[in-house]
A = this chain, B = another copy of it.
Amino acid sequence: MMHTKILASQDIGTIVKSIGINALLDALVEQLEGAFKSLDTQKANIPPRSGIHCQNPDLGLLEWMPASINQGRASLKIVGYHPTNPSKRKLPTILSSIGLFDTLSGHMECLLDGTFATALRTGAMSAIASKHMFSSDEPITLGIIGCGAQSVTQTHALSRIFKIKRILAYDTVPTASQSLGKRVSFSNVQVTPVSESELHTLLTTSDILCTCTSADPGSGPLFSDFENKPTLHINAVGSDFPTKIELPLPLLRRAFVCPDFKQQAKAEGECQQLGDHEIHTELTELLNTSELQSQSKNSLSVFDSTGHAYADYVTGSLILDYAKEMNLGTDIEVEHSARPT
C-alpha cells in the first residue's frame, strides 16, 4: 500500500499558524540558499517549464514545472493561469498544485497547494538574491511597482533581510497601492502609496526596487530608463512569459544581470532582451563566487526572477516535512500499486 499525502489548503494554514510566518519564511530562505548554492546541474534534471493553451472561451494556460534531483526527489508544479478568473469567477488568476515524487519508485508522495508556495518562494528568492547582490549599512528605501499578491511576500521577505526605512508603492490601480500597507502590517513596515506623477521619485530614491506587475505581454517596459542610485538593486519578478518584460533595455544594459535560470529567463524573462554576453551570471554561480557578489554590490544590479522549478521542489518539500511532523493531511492510496502477477 503506497499512500499519497493530500495536503488541504487549510493544513498549510495550520502550519503557518503553528510555526509563524516569519519563522517559516526564514527557514525557507535558509533552505533555498543552501539548495541553490549546492545545486549541481549534473545531478539535476530541470527543463524549462512548458504548457498548453486552454480556450473555454477565454484564453487560459496550463503549465507544468518539473524538477528532479538524482538521489533526491522529483517535483511537478502544475500552474493554471486564467486572467479572467477574478472578474468572471471570483477566483485568483493562478490556481496551482505541486506533486512531490519518490525518485526510487516514481510514487507520488504528496499533493499540495502551489499558490502559497509560489508566493513564498518568490519572495524568498528575491531576498536571497538581494542579500548577495546589494549591501547597505543604512536603513533602505524599498520601491514596489505592482501591488498584487507577489508584492506582499516580496516586502515581507526583504524586511527579514534588510532594515527598511520606508516603502514607496505604485500600482496602476490606486486601491492596490493604498491597501498594501494593511496587507503587510504584520511586517511592521510603513508603506507610502505613490501616484503616477510620483513614480519618478520612487524610481530615483529606491535602494531596492521590486517590479512585480501583471503587465500584458508586449506592453512593457513599465518605465523609461532613469537616473538611479549608483548601487540600486532591482528584483524583476513580473516577467515570466514570452514578450512580457518590465524593465527598459538601456537600464538592463547598464546593469549587472543575474537570472534565476538562464535558459528560461532568455525565453520568458528580462533576459529575452539581452544577448548571452550581457547576462553576467546565474543564481547558483553567484552564490558560489564572492567576486561576482562584490561586482553586483558595487553597481546597478538586476535579479531576473522567472520562477525556478527547483524552488518549488524545495518549498514543497519543506511544507511536507512540517506536515509530517505535525501529522497533517489525508493519506490516500491513489496509485494502483498491486504488483502484476
- Residues of A in contact with B (beta carbons under 8 Å apart): 2, 4, 6-10, 12, 45-47, 50, 52-58, 60-62, 64, 66-68, 70-72, 74, 76, 78-82, 85-86, 89-92, 94-97, 99, 101, 103-108, 111-116, 148-149, 179, 183, 330, 332-341
Contact = CB atoms under 8 A, between A and B. Distances in A.
Nearest to A45: B52
A111 B113 contact: no
A107 B67 CA distance: 22
B64 A76 contact: yes
Nearest to A176: B341
A5 to B, nearest CB: 11
Nearest to A66: B52
A86 B337 CA distance: 11
A215 to B, nearest CB: 17
5 contacts: A7-B334, A54-B68, A62-B68, A76-B78, A96-B335
Contacts of A10: 333
Contact of A53 (B45, B105, B339): B45
A70 B56 contact: yes
A108 B103 contact: no
A82 B53 contact: no
B82 A106 contact: yes
Question: Quick one: copies of this chain in the complex?
Answer: 2
Given A62-B68, A107-B95, A339-B90, A80 B101 contact: yes
Given A54-B45, A62-B76, A74-B62, A6 B85 contact: no
Contact of A74 (B4, B52, B86): B52
B336 A106 contact: no
A321 B336 CA distance: 19
A53 to B, nearest CB: 5
B336 A108 contact: no
A52 B67 CA distance: 8
A87 to B, nearest CB: 11
Given A2-B91, A148-B340, A149-B340, A111 B70 contact: no
A113 B334 contact: yes
A228 to B, nearest CB: 29
Nearest to A62: B74
A52 B71 CA distance: 14
B95 A71 contact: no
Contacts of A79: 106
Interface pairs A-B: 4 shortest CB-CB: A80-B106, A54-B103, A45-B52, A56-B103
Contacts of A67: 52
B6 A6 contact: yes
B57 A71 contact: yes
A329 to B, nearest CB: 9
A76 B76 CA distance: 11
